[in-house]
Structure 1
Amino acid sequence: MSAVKVVINPESALAIATLLRHHSELKQRKGLFQTRQVDFFRYKRFVRALKSPEYAKKSIAQPELYPPVAEKDKTDEDADMKARLLFIAMIKAQLVLPCNKLDSTQSKQQGLKPSKEFPNLVLSTKAGLQPDEYYVWNYNPKTLTDYLAVIGVISAILTLVCYPLWPYFMRRGSYYMSLGALGLLAVFFVIAIVRVIIYLLLLPFTNQNGGFWLFPNLFEDCGVIESFKPLYGFGETECYTYIKKMKRRKRRQAKKSTQSHAQPAEPDEKKDN
């Protein structure tokens, strides 16, 4: 393997992190790291992102900021070594941090509450840069959406503070809008009370099916439209949380079956002569 020379400065590491922060090749997942929600990925995914066409275009246009990784006259070993050096520079700049993903048992041992949606992550003291090692982002560049959100919040606050200066038609409109919001809230409470009454009245006849619920997803953690779908249901079988749980269980079973089929069969032990 030929000698690999890569000049990496803090500006280059920051530029690479900004470019690859939301890259599709990383296949990032959400996790809980130090009581906050973060994105994490495998090291091998980062290497693939560095070999992507997007990074290749940037390295051709600005090689001083984006050192070339996958070159035509270089071997795969050289590309992997360059990717390794770039990733080490990002770790030194604390843009990414090594971490360990905990299962439910390990989370309880660490005094953390297990979560079905987001796995718990803890800081690792060793970065071996192995393909399946996990790393967490410690860098979140500001996007246009963030700036627009800040401008919107400030504008809303200034608008409310200047309420006495509003024209009459605007104050009149805000009054009717507030009445409409209160009306929607009242309708929601009425539906909640009605569905409980219907459930109690029909419980003796539908107890075997788990009880009858009007809008079974009304209080589920889902979108507004999904809260009113389906119109009715029995027990937990049509509940949004139950359906999501069953889908997650099917995915786990499919993954386990795939892994069991992918494992090579153990060779038979040699018989003694």
Structure 2
Amino acid sequence: MADTKPQALAVANFLRHRPELKQRPGIAVNYNDKISEIYRVKRAVRALVSDDYKAARSKNMLLPPVNSPQDALKVFALLPTHRLSMRVEKLKPHSMVIPASKVPKNGSPVMMVSPAQQLIADNEYYIWLYEPVQATSYLYASLVIIGILALCLFPLWPHFMRRGAWFLSMGAMGFLVFLFALAIIRLVLFSVIYLIAGKRFWLLPNLFADVGFFASFVPLYQIDDTKPAKEKRHHKSE
């Protein structure tokens, strides 16, 4: 996207999540079967002639001026020109087979990118190809870089920080050893009780389950009777 005009990116950033567009999920079957949001041109025009656009333009001069719906259509044309948003046509449900995993939910439409991108009419549908980078992505990337730099500069850390890191690493290692020891104890208890009483006894049954940290230690134990059903019925009949 290095060749994309700054004006086109500014318009895309303004329109991408505007409520006036009333976007809904759709899939373009001839564009990587990727689910994205679709909208009508007329709703984008409403957003471009709104007071919010004028207020945004007063803060960002990269946004082109819009004084009429005709100007809005010309500004909107920057999106397909720079492949930020493309014109699509609706397909009938049986007109093309797509993977079941790619079918949008709740009857969302199946689309096809139109070869005629120059025609821009109010009722035409467009699908977004542009996905702006979220602010949280920059935050996480910055934290990763800071963490890597901090580890590289470990020899330069003050003594109290290195001592604290040593205690933390020992604590983490001790916790791992505790988990391994607990797993061995669980297995030994299970084997002994199963051989003697024929029951499945699990100490901390959710310890390695896909649950939260605290839920891994609840309940404390679980007992399952594993006697065959025939034997149980025989005891009941007696």
TM-score w.r.t. structure 1 length? 0.50
Pair 1:11-2:2 in alignment: no
Residue-by-residue CA offset, 1:43-72 (whole Å, 9 max, x unaligned): 11111111222211122344x4222324xx
Question: Which of 76, 80, 93 in structure 1 is aligned with 2:82?
Answer: 93
How many residues end up aligned between the 2 structures? 166
Match of 2:169 in 1: 167
- Cross-structure match for 2:138: 147
- The unaligned stretches of length 5 or more in structure 1 are 1-8, 71-78, 159-164, 189-273
AA of the residue aligned to 1:125: P
One-letter amino acid matched to 1:12: Q
Compared CA separation, residues 185 and 139, structure 1 to 2 (3 A): closer
Aligned-pair CA distance for 1:172 = 3.3
Describe the shift of the 1:150–1:59 C-alpha distance in structure 2 as closer, same or farther (beyond 3 A): closer
Unmatched segments (≥5 aa) in structure 2: 150-165, 184-203, 217-238
Bigger Cα Rg: 2
2:62 aligns to what SS in structure 1? coil
* Equivalent runs, 1:1-273 vs 2, <5 Å: 10-33=5-28, 34-62=32-60, 64-70=61-67, 79-108=68-97, 113=100, 115-117=103-105, 118-127=108-117, 128-150=119-141, 167-173=169-175, 182-185=207-210
Provide the C-alpha distance between the structure 2 equivalents of 1:146 and 1:126, rounded to a whole number of angstroms: 35
Question: Measured at CA, do residues 98 and 169 of structure 1 come closer, stay the same or move farther in structure 2, by a change above 3 Å?
Answer: same
Q: Secondary structure at the match of 2:58?
A: helix
Q: Distance in 2 between matches of 1:130 and 1:55?
A: 21
* TM-score, normalised via structure 2 length: 0.56
- Counterpart residue identity of residue 13, structure 1: A
How many angstroms apart in 2 are the aligned matches of 1:58 and 1:91?
Answer: 22
| 1:116 shift after superposition | 4.9
* Percent pairwise identity: 29
> Is contact 1:60–1:68 with CA below 8 Å preserved after alignment?
no
**1:40–1:137 contact (8 Å) kept in structure 2:** yes
Q: Specify the SS of the correspondent of 2:94.
A: helix
Aligned partner of residue 112 in structure 2, secondary structure: strand
SS, match of residue 39 in structure 2: strand
One-letter amino acid matched to 2:35: Q
Verify the 8 A CA contact 1:41 1:135 in the aligned structure 2. Answer: yes
Q: Distance in 2 between matches of 1:169 and 1:89?
A: 57
Which SS does the other structure have where 2:37 is aligned? strand
Kept in 2: contact 1:27–1:41 (CA 8 A)? yes
Q: Please tell me whether the aligned partners of residues 27 and 104 of structure 2 are also in contact (alpha carbons under 8 angstroms).
A: no
Could you tell me how far apart the structure 2 residues matched to 1:177 and 1:155 are? 30
Q: Name the aligned partner's letter for residue 42 of structure 1.
A: R
C-alpha distance 25-112 of structure 1, shift in aligned 2 (>3 A): same
- CA spacing shift, 1:182–1:119, aligned 2, 3 Å: farther
For the residues of structure 1 that align with 2:109 and 2:176, how far apart are their CA atoms? 44
